[in-house]
Structure formats: C-alpha cells, structure tokens
Structure 1
Amino acid sequence: MLVTFKCRSTPDVVMLRNLAQYLLAFIGKDVGSRGVISRHELDEAIPRLERAIREEARTEAALEALHHVPNDHSSHDDDDAVKHRAWPLLDMMREAHRQGDDILWGL
C-alpha cells in the first residue's frame, strides 16, 4: 500500500506505507488513514528525522563491518538503505518549513 504526502510548495512524495510509518515514528506521528505535520511541528521534526537517519547510517556501517566477508564480490545495493529512501520526505519537510506550509497525507 502507498502513502502520498502532499504540500503546496513541493511535488507529492509517494512511498510504501511501511516506510512511511517507520519514518513518521521518528517524529512522533502515526501513518493512520490521514495525518498532518503542521508547519509549527517542522522545527522539531526535521532535526529528529535527520538525527535518526544519521544514527541508522552508523548502525548499518557497524553491521556491515561485522558481517563483512573478505573477497565477497556479491552486490550490496546501498540504494535500498532507508537513508536514501527518506530524503524525498526530508526535502519536502525542509521546503515546507521554508514556505510555512503543512504536509498532509491520506487525502
């Protein structure tokens, strides 16, 4: 299932529901059927999501080091990391903050 985030000042951001729920949990929101990140919440929400992305990147790097197999030539697709999939929502949040707009989903 997909969730579409909407904001007047940016293009829509569409993501899988489980990823949306995962990211929204970092800022204290639940994906539910509808929701909003108000312009007043963005001051706190943006740094919280940025911090969560940085912490996850450190965790992924540590796990990769623990599970590294020398001469393993298998493909590790780093593009699937949550940090890469979170950037569109984070960019939307930053622009909404600059423009003083809310972010809505479930309309």
Structure 2
Amino acid sequence: MIYKFKSKAAPDVIMMGPNGDQVLRLIGREPTAKGILEVADMPAAVAALRAAVEEEDARRQATPEDEADDDGPRGSREGVVSLRQRAWPLIEMIERSHKAGTDVVWGV
C-alpha cells in the first residue's frame, strides 16, 4: 500500500506502506487505508514523531557503523534512509496544518 497524506495547508506527502505504517503507529494510530488526523491531535503527533526521531538518532550515535543493526548489513550506512528523513515532510505538513487549522487525511 502507498500512503498519500493530504492537507489544504501543505503539499501532499507520499510514503510507501511500511514507512507509512511506522509513522502512523508512532503517532498512536493503527495503520488503515483511510484516516484523519484532526487539528486537536496534531501537537501530540508532532511530539511523538520528534521523540522517535531523537531516539533513533541517539541509537545511531551509540552504535558503531561496523556493527550490524536493524537498518541493514554490516558496513557503511550510506544509502540508509533515517526516520528523520522519512518523517520530516510529514512533521512539516502537520505543523503547517495545525497553524492553518486544517486536518490531515490519507486514503481519501
């Protein structure tokens, strides 16, 4: 599945299924084909995404590059897309949407 997050306040954000599932779980939502993130829930969603990004960054800093990790085989992390890179467009969308007072939807 591909997620297409939409808002009247920002350009669309498209994510592949596993990445969309991950960010939805991080903001406390079960992955579904259709959904809505209401304005009132946006500050908590942004805080949860930022906390997860910081946690992953700290874990990456603590793990030497030559050790195997969840992201792939031993060796360089070149080419590995971090949660920070994946979540940033959605965080921006949510922040803009919150400021504009408009919901974020997907699958609609």
TM-score (structure 1 length as normaliser): 0.85
| 1:1-107 to 2 correspondences below 5 Å | 1-64=1-64, 67=67, 75-77=76-78, 80-107=81-108
Aligned-residue offset at 1:45: 1.2
Larger radius of gyration: 1
**Distance across 1 between alignment mates of 2:80 and 2:96:** 23
Q: Which has the higher helix share?
A: 1
Superposed CA RMSD in Å reads: 1.9
Question: Which runs of 5 or more structure 1 residues have no equivalent in the other structure?
Answer: 69-73
What TM-score comes out, normalization by structure 2 length? 0.84
Deviations, residues 17-51 of structure 1 (Å, cap 9, x unaligned): 11011111111012211111100101211111111
Identical positions, percent:
28
Moved over 6 A (4+): none
Tell me, yes or no, if the aligned pair for 2:65 and 2:77 is still in contact at 8 Å.
no
Partner residue in 2 for 1:71: none
